Amino acid sequence: MNNRSSTRKEDFKGWSNGLDFLGPKCSLVDEHGNNYVQMTAAIGETWDGPIARETIAPRGRMIDRLIFEPPVDAAQELRLEVPAAPLGLEGWYRFRIPRLMWDEEGGVE
């Protein structure tokens, strides 16, 4: 996330807030209709995962990570939907992610 303002800080509520069962949630599905579960750290465990809330300074940036269970071998495309609400907007951001972007070997067999 980039804050393009030179004077205002931005409060980012984080897409992991959807994991508390309130509000819209992120979703990941493949072209076969398989839904993938968004992963969270276990209670008492910490890891470099989703951000629950953070303030982005003027002209600052931060990186949020969404972690899902691995896709099935047959998946060639993933469709990610994230709510715009954590950015103070309405609607959804939708992304199509081809296998080439997550396949460790850099391509499809």
pLDDT 10s digits, 44-80: 666 565 566 778 899 988 877 788 889 999 999 999 9
Q: Encode pLDDT of 75-94 as tens digits.
A: 999 999 988 887 778 899 99
- pTM here? 0.71
Q: Are 24 and 18 in contact (CB under 8 A)?
A: yes
CB 40 within 8 A of CB 16: yes
Number of residues written out for the chain:
109
Helix (H) or strand (E) holding 77: strand 77-83
